[in-house]
Amino acid sequence: MARIIAIDDEQAILDVIERILKRDGHDVRCLADPARALELNLARADLILCDVMMPGIDGFELVRELRPRFDGPIVFLTAKVAEEDAVTGYGLGADDYVRKPFGAAELRAKVAAHVRRERREHTHAIAFGPVRLDLGARQVTVDGTPVALTPTEYEICEHLARHPGQVLSRAQICEALFGWEREVDDAAISMHVSRARKKLAAAGADPIATVWGMGYKWQL
């Protein structure tokens, strides 16, 4: 069971989300007023589902406010499918998208994949020079300074770091993170990698190399 916050100004959509996810035993809290999410204690939440197009405060602005207070996965619910919208969402700290109209199977699969990743047992650390991955805390540090990665950015770094020097394709990364139940989105993986590299570079490290036409590798 996961504790999920669903935010959408359409009550009918919230009712559908609640009905679908409760079948899997999840505890779902639905908010039709996005401003109410800013008042919540997010410490006990495992995942946030957030609509993009909402009156007053839209999903992009809301996630910009919530991300510093919430380190779990954030999944946008959106009918907006343009690449620039995806770039904006990932840049603000979103981990994934579910496009409207969505089916029950797709929503359940994506939620299950993110919850499974968050709850996978981690017991030790991996270090390469100044870069250290604390697998228990799910934290990357450079010379002891934490790098503020989203859950998906962290997972990509961990997966690459567990296979140092090995070139992994975008499809392999996507399958490792989300399983076979979701469609591979190469562009999404590329954007997550790009964001992670920029954050690591700002901290003074560049451990992820692009192997053109093949994928990415963690540099030794």
Each domain of the chain, given as residue ranges in start order, spans 3-119, 125-218
Q: pLDDT for 89-121, tens place per residue?
A: 888 888 888 888 889 999 999 899 888 877 765
pLDDT over 70 percentage in the chain: 93
pLDDT over 70 at 122, yes or no: no
Tens digits of residue pLDDT in 153-203: 999 999 999 889 999 999 889 888 877 555 556 788 899 999 999 999 999
Domain range 125-218, CATH architecture: Orthogonal Bundle (1.10)
Superfamily of domain 3-119: Response regulator (3.40.50.2300)
pLDDT tens digits for 31-52? 999 999 998 888 788 999 999 9
Convert the chain into a string of H (helix), E (strand) and C (coil). Answer: CCEEEEECCCHHHHHHHHHHHHCCCCEEEEECCHHHHHHCCHHHCCEEEEECCCCCCCHHHHHHHHHHHCCCCEEEEECCCCHHHHHHHHHHCCCEEEECCCCHHHHHHHHHHHHHHHHCCCCCEEEECCEEEECCCCEEEECCEEECCCHHHHHHHHHHHCCCCCCECHHHHHHHHHCCCCCCCHHHHHHHHHHHHHHHHHCCCCCEEEECCCEEEECC
